[in-house]
A and B are shown apart, each in its own frame.
Chain A
Amino acid sequence: IFLCVSPQQEGLDDGPDFLSEEDRGVSFFFPFLISVLSLSSYCVLCMCVSTLPNFKQNEFSVVRQHEEFIWLHDSFVENEEYAGYIIPPAPPKPDFDASREKLQKLGEGEGSMTKEEFTKMKQELEAEYLAIFKKTVAMHEVFLCRVAAHPVLRKDLNFHVFLEYNQDLSVRGKNKKEKLEDFFKNVVKSADGVLVAGVKDVDDFFEHEKTFLLEYHNRVKDASAKSDRMIRSHKSAADDINRIASTLYTLGTQDSTDLCKFFLKVSELFEKTRKIEARVAADEDLKLADLLKYYLRESQAAKDLLYRRGRALVDYENANKALDKARAKNKDVLQAETTQQVCCQKFEKISESAKQELIDFKTRRVAAFRKNLVELAELELKHAKGNLQLLHSCLGVLKGDT
């Protein structure tokens, strides 16, 4: 079975972008190429129109895979230079599992269902894919846009390579050993994070940010999970309406009594409301759930930043202590002084940029929420009005009939 999905048709403009227009130094377009049969690999073609001076050309395009995005992200995280910045969160790996399962079912059931049912299911599946694609595109786009908008990160060499090098970056996924290491690193880091978090900050701003981010992160995590569930049940409801519509249709086609005509009309109405309901769910997903999810990751990144700063602070304090000890013992004083100075510098640098970053984060967050909530409300209104009109006209017809 081949599904044909063309994101271009739908237009990508309604994807989530959490950046205001002026932030963009670079525009991206992501026409997709996906081998649907395997679903295991997919490529992202990114097309880049740049107004930035450092690029060799103004317009260029490359094909990138999800792994390459991860690589870019990791290269930022690992770079000590960027310790003072909120590293834009990596785009999430698209989840095709549910769709793959459905596709399999569709393949198995091909013989057993009627042609209409099959076409209908196929269309449903295609729509679902399309939604996931759009989401994926949007997420990846947001990542690149964030990087491109960042005053420091956009000058990163890896980023330029990522955008310009028009051959395969031959990034491989992490192997098991590396993954294990990552895992341990994470465990250590989170244990450390608890320790570090326990340290009272001297700076009120950071102290406040720390408590805020901790709470915020948890809340946003909760909200995002709940919104997902809400949207999922909304989608199931829309699916039910769809099935009701098709059953009503079969009921209506039985013969040609008045009641059957009535059924047909109601079926038609349900078919339309179904579409609207599905759109409502999809828009909620796009505007609300994705926003929350993005800020879940962004707040995680901000937390990471705070952790790095806290770590630097602890290191600095330790260096101070070590220096005091060294002075008392009059041993290795010079070395301790250097360490202390390095730590101090590092801490101050992180603090300085982090303060700006966190303020930026807040501004960005407020702007993004505003934009999305306004859009969400507008879309909800649009759909509800469309639905209302449908119901009105249908009721008019039905009542006129009787």
Chain B
Amino acid sequence: MSLCHFYPSLVIKFFRVCVCVCVELKMAASSERSPPPFPDSEEPELLEDSDEGADAFTGTSISEMDSPSPDSTRPPKDIFNEPPEDIFSDPLSNINSEPQKKVDAKIPSPSSDEAVDLFSDPLDDDSEVMSSPEVQNPMPDLLNEPVEAPKSDVLGEPPVHRDAARQQDVFEDPPKSSSKSSSVKKAASSEMFGDDDDDEDLFKEPPKVVTKKPQPSGPPVDVFTEVKSDVKVKPQVKDDPTDLFAEEALTAPAPKPSAGSSSSRTNGVHSEEQDLFSEATVELSLDSPRNDRKNKDAVKPSVSAPAAPVASSSSKAPSKTLKELEEEESEDKFDLNISITNPEKVGDGMNAYMAYKVSTQTSLTMFRSKTFTVRRRFSDFLGLFEKLSEKHSQNGYLIPPPPEKSILGMTKVKVGKEDPSSAEFVERRRAALERYLQRVVSHPSLLQDPDVREFLEKEELPRAVSTQALSGAGFLKMLNKATDAVSKMTIKMNEQDVWFDEKIQDVENEEQHLRKLHVMVESLVNHRKELSGNTAVFAKSVAMLGSSEDNTALSRALSQLAEVEDRIEQLHQEQASNDFFTFSELLADYIRLLGAVRGCFDQRMKAWQRWQDAENMLQKKREAEAKLLWANKPDKLQQAKDEITEWEAKVTQYEREFERISATVRKEVIRFDKEKARDFNRQVIKYLESLLHSQQQLIKYWDAFLPEAKAIV
């Protein structure tokens, strides 16, 4: 108890430092903390961590050393609430653990008054105290169900209310920017909104702390550097354990559905950390609050929503940004088989449509069962894409594009002639949809999207609207695209990042070449089909010739030749479809995907543009202020100043957004490249194998024919 009193100021200072450091630490920290299901592996690290923190700050390390123990006893249920916590660095967790301990002590005699005192005290202080909610937060998190009652009392106390209100006045920030911890609280008691703002402020500060003033107090600086260096060493050490976690988590039937996802997030977080190291610290600190906030936002539903899997996945989605580099590992553990079968015509006439059976086989625990099947129509697929791109594309995610709508092809199917071309069309679309879905689920963040899961699992989907190519919505979309294209042309982005500059060029070149290649492969397919048709005709003709030949041996040889040609025709036919399905469709897919990649770049450019616009605006406001100052109009001056603050905030926000989107896009593109290499490798080898097979067959046929030819007398 006394600890709590004693700490607030320290906590604040520490917290500031932490926020900067924690950006880096965050991942590592969370990776250690999050896997309560596997307490053994993490506990040692936790202990170490708490050591550092304690040493740096006070001599109370001994008392803190105890803190891990509540941790290990924490029930799995807390894992859900934990994500926010994870985001904070270890040092914080130390702090958290202290109050927790305190609470533990309290549990035997749950006198709510006591608790109120404890908390209200620091709250009544000024801005410094703002961190106290932080201290509080851990409590709800860490406490077990039994403790919940007192906790809610604490939160519901009037002092807290007052405090919240006051803070809201002071800070005009919207509640959405609430800290994750507060969001947890919010779930428990919605009155706490006001508190969130402090955290936001705290978060904004870090850059300055890092860059300009590492002086707030002697020890913290030391801590900062110390911790940092420590952190740098850690990733390597931690690498293996985390991976292990991730794997284990996904394969082992975790007690709670979220276990897998939370641990995998840990994984991602961890990777992020490593990545961030390579970049500037400032950038990191800018970056992280954003992520934190996102996580916070995401966590809210997780506490409130009864459906655990949904919540965990949604909380995961944003944090997944960080995950891309872990792709290699996740590949191994990826266990989700989607196949689309049984295309079936439903309805008649122009209202007819094809329904496809989407079967999923998985051992991922986020799904309710191991295998399930749904029927979906093409527009559902498009609808899924629309939903995904609406939600994720502005974050710089690469959303795999679905196959294009084909009015001509579908009309043919609708008209309902059972001719080979419409059968081929359906098969082609089926295969394309299958690949599309597989791409979606192999994207770690999209897999977590509730819409994806709904798409795979839910029996009935609301009819997707606005996917009609010619509908009004479609027209609007086209209009949007047109304006986008225009604005794209007008935006002149002076690219500072060489990597992006080159990548954009590469992607454009590649797309161009792939298009060319695709056209050629298409023409190869057509020629091969033509060849097959002509071979068939020739075979018939030779058979006729053979029948009219009056030399029996020659006649037989000719009819043999006809047979050989017949088989070769089959071979050409097969090869043509192989050309098409393994090679041409691969290229078509990647042309579409490269389009999506360019879309990502565009999103990044838009973010940049927003940032620049805000910068310009700020400049204008500043000029206006200067004018007002000169004109000596103090009444408007205040307003101008407010505006400047507002725009400064916006600039920072947009800049952060830009940095974030850049990082995301970069990761997405790296991931895409890897996937592309893998895909091409696999598909082309498959294609070559089909060629190989053709040649083998060919040899067989001609081998059989040779003696026949020799037998001609």
Question: Is the CB–CB distance between A394 and B702 below 8 Å?
Answer: no
Cβ-defined contact, A240 with B523, below 8 A: yes
Contact assessment for A247 and B516 in the assembled complex, using a CB-CB cutoff below 8 Å: yes
Which of A226, A240, A263, A385 is within 8 Å of B524, CB to CB? Answer: A240
The complex places the Cα of A385 from the Cα of B703 at a distance, in Å, of 11
Residue B372 interfacial (CB < 8 Å): no
Q: In chain B between 396 and 421, which residues have their CB closer than 8 angstroms to a CB of chain A?
A: none
Q: How far is the CB of A219 from chain B (nearest CB, A)?
A: 4
A378 partner residues in chain B, CB cutoff 8 A: 706
A52 touches B (CB below 8 Å): no
Is A391 a contact partner of B692 (Cβ separation < 8 A)? Answer: yes
* Given A226-B538, A254-B506: A219 and B544 interface contact (C-beta under 8 Å): yes
CB distance A398 to B681 under 8 Å? yes
**Does chain A have a CB within 8 A of B537?**
yes
Stretch at the interface among A8-16, A20-28, A124-132, A369-377: A369-377
Say yes or no for B549: interface residue by CB 8 A criterion: yes
Q: Does A273 contact B (CB under 8 A)?
A: yes
- Are A374 and B524 within 8 A (Cβ)? no
Which chain A residues border B549 with CB–CB below 8 Å? 216
Does B553 reach chain A (CB closer than 8 Å)? Answer: yes
One of B541, B544, B554, B692 near A369 (C-beta < 8 A) = B554
7 new A-B contacts, CB < 8 A, other than A366-B554, A378-B706, A384-B695, are A227-B541, A229-B537, A230-B537, A248-B517, A370-B710, A381-B703, A387-B695
Chain A window 54-75, contacts with chain B (Cβ cutoff 8 Å), 1 for yes, 0 for no: 0000000000000000000000
Task: Flag if B706 contacts A381 (CB, 8 Å).
Answer: yes
Inter-chain contact A227/B527, CB cutoff 8 Å: no
Known contacts A237-B528, A243-B520; is A230 also within 8 Å of B535 by CB?
Answer: yes
Query: Closest CB of chain B to A182's CB: distance in Å?
Result: 30
Mark interface residues in B549-569 (1 if CB within 8 Å of A CB, else 0): 111011001100100000000
Contact in complex: B544, A222 (CB < 8 Å): yes
A187 within 8 A of B: no
Residues from chain B with Cβ under 8 Å of A259 in the complex: 673, 676-677, 680-681
**Residues of chain B lying within 8 A (CB to CB) of residue A237:** 524, 527-528, 531
Q: Quick check: is A388 within 8 A (CB to CB) of the other chain?
A: yes
User: Contact check: which of A262, A373, A387 meets B557 at CB < 8 Å?
Assistant: A373
- Interface-forming stretch among B347-355, B449-457, B507-515? B507-515
- In B632-687, which residues have CB < 8 Å from any A CB? 673, 676-677, 680-681, 684-685
State how many residues of chain A have any CB contact under 8 Å with chain B.
57
Contact between chains at A230 and B684 (CB < 8 Å): no
Chain B residues with CB under 8 Å of A233's CB are 527, 530-531, 534
Q: Nearest-CB distance from B671 to chain A (Å)?
A: 14
Q: A251-B513, A254-B506, A398-B688 are in contact. Are A385 and B699 (CB under 8 A)?
A: yes
Q: Does B691 contact A (CB under 8 A)?
A: yes
Cα A315 to Cα B514 with chains together (Å)? 72
Question: Which partner residue on chain A sits nearest B550 by CB separation?
Answer: A212
Q: Does B222 contact A (CB under 8 A)?
A: no
What CA separation (Å) do A377 and B708 show in the bound complex? 10
> Chain B residues with Cβ under 8 A from A234's Cβ?
531
For B509, what are the chain A residues with a Cβ–Cβ distance below 8 Å? 254
CB-contacts of A253-280 with B (<8 A): 254-255, 257-259, 262-263, 266, 269, 273
Near B by CB (< 8 A), chain A positions 185-225 give 212, 215-216, 219-220, 222-223
- Alpha-carbon gap, A352 to B580, bound state (A): 60
Tell me if A236 and B530 are in contact (CB < 8 A): yes
Q: Is B709 on the interface with A (CB-CB < 8 A)?
A: yes
* Alpha-carbon distance A350/B509, docked complex (angstroms): 74
A395 at the interface (CB under 8 A from B): yes
Interface residue? B229 (CB, 8 A): no
Say whether A380 faces chain B, with CB atoms less than 8 Å apart.
yes
Name the residue on A nearest B713 (C-beta).
Answer: A366
Q: Is B688 in contact with A394, judged by CB distance below 8 angstroms?
A: yes
A-B contacts, 26 of them at CB < 8 A, read A220-B545, A223-B545, A226-B541, A229-B537, A229-B538, A230-B537, A233-B534, A234-B531, A237-B528, A237-B531, A240-B527, A247-B516, A251-B510, A255-B506, A259-B676, A262-B681, A362-B551, A370-B557, A374-B709, A380-B698, A381-B703, A384-B695, A384-B698, A388-B692, A395-B688, A402-B681
In whole angstroms, what is the CA distance A375 to B705 when docked? 11
User: B107 at interface (Cβ–Cβ under 8 A)?
Assistant: no
Could you tell me the distance between the alpha carbons of A342 and B531 in the complex, rounded to whole angstroms?
55
Binary B-proximity of A384-402 (CB < 8 A = 1, otherwise 0): 1101100110110011001
In the bound complex, do residue B695 and residue A257 qualify as a contact, i.e. CB atoms below 8 Å apart? no
Q: At the interface, yes or no: A333 with Cβ under 8 Å from chain B?
A: no
Contact between B691 and A273, CB atoms less than 8 A apart: yes
C-alpha gap A366/B550 in the complex (Å): 10
From the candidates A240, A263, A377, name the one contacting B706 in the complex (CB within 8 A). A377
Q: Are A262 and B544 in contact (CB under 8 A)?
A: no
Residues on the A chain within 8 Å of B691, using CB? 273, 387, 391
Contact residue among A222, A365, A366 (Cβ-Cβ distance under 8 Å from B553): A366
Instruction: Say yes or no: A380-B702 contact (C-beta < 8 A), given A244-B524, A247-B516, A370-B712.
Output: yes
Please indicate the chain B residues that have their CB under 8 angstroms from the CB of A362 in the complex: 550-551
A240-B517 Cα distance, complex, nearest whole Å: 10
Q: Among A226, A262, A365, find the residue whose CB has the most chain B CB atoms closer than 10 A.
A: A226
Q: How far is A398 from B709 in the complex, measured between Cα atoms in Å?
A: 38
- A contact residues around B709 at 8 Å (CB): 370, 373-374, 376-377
Contacts of A373 in B (CB 8 A): 557, 561, 705, 709, 712
Nearest-Cβ distance from residue A326 to partner chain B, whole angstroms: 42
- When distances are taken between beta carbons in the complex, the residues of chain B under 8 Å from A229 are 534, 537-538
A262-B677 contact in complex given A212-B548, A391-B688, A394-B688, C-beta closer than 8 Å: yes
A87 at the interface (CB under 8 A from B): no
CA distance A380 to B692 in the complex (A): 15
A238's nearest neighbour on chain B, judged by CB, is B527
- In the complex, whether A241 has a CB less than 8 A from a CB of chain B is yes
Known: A215-B548, A247-B513, A388-B692. A241 touches B537 (CB 8 A): no
**A223-B557 contact, Cβ under 8 Å, with A258-B677, A370-B709, A398-B685:** no
Report if A244-B702 is in contact (Cβ < 8 Å); known contacts: A234-B531, A391-B688, A394-B688.
no
Instruction: For the complex formed, measure the closest distance between the CB of A380 and the CB atoms of chain B, giving whole angstroms.
Output: 4
CB-based contact B699/A388 at 8 Å:
yes
Which residues of the other chain, A, contact B366 by a CB distance below 8 angstroms?
A: none
Residues of B413-456 whose CB lies within 8 A of A: none
Q: How far is the CA of A258 from the CA of B517 in the complex (A)?
A: 19
Q: Which residue of B lies closest to A369 (CB)?
A: B554
**Best-surrounded residue of B523, B534, B673 (most CB of chain A within 10 A):** B534
Known: A250-B513, A374-B709. A223 touches B544 (CB 8 A): yes
Closest to A394 in B: B688
B residues within 8 A CB of A243?
Answer: 520
CB within 8 Å for A251 and B514 given contacts A233-B527, A373-B709, A373-B712:
yes
> Nearest chain A CB to B548's CB is how many angstroms away?
5
